[in-house]
């Protein structure tokens, strides 16, 4: 009872498909995928901005030393 076999998961999957329908599940999957994609894009943009800021700070620091 504590361990779920493949048959338990298949029954749960069939019940979910019957209750919600494939169209709603496809739409929910698309929404979740879009959210994950936007999150990854935001994380990459944040990393690029941090690298740019660090480079600018380093350049400014070197300019101050040269003066």
Q: Which tens digits make up the pLDDT trace of 49-60?
A: 777 777 777 777
Q: Which residue has the higher pLDDT, 40 or 61?
A: 40
| All residues at 6 or more sequence positions from 18 whose CB lies less than 8 Å from its CB, including other chains | none
Asked whether residue 8 is domain-assigned, the answer is: no
- pLDDT score, position 66: 66
**3: DSSP letter:** S
Q: Residue 46 is part of which domain span?
A: 21-67
Q: Which tens digits make up the pLDDT trace of 3-59?
A: 889 999 999 999 999 998 988 889 999 999 999 999 999 888 877 777 777 777 777
CA 47, CA 52: separation in Å to the nearest integer?
9
Q: Is the pLDDT of residue 63 over 70?
A: no
The domain total for the chain is: 1
Asked whether residue 12 is domain-assigned, the answer is: no
């Amino acid at each position: 009872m504590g361990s779920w076999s493949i048959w338990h998961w298949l029954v749960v999957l069939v019940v979910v498909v019957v209750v919600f329908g494939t169209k709603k599940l496809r739409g929910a999957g698309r929404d979740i995928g879009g959210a994950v994609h936007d999150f990854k894009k935001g994380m990459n943009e944040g990393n690029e901005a941090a690298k740019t800021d660090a480079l600018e700070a380093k350049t400014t620091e070197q300019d101050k030393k040269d003066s």
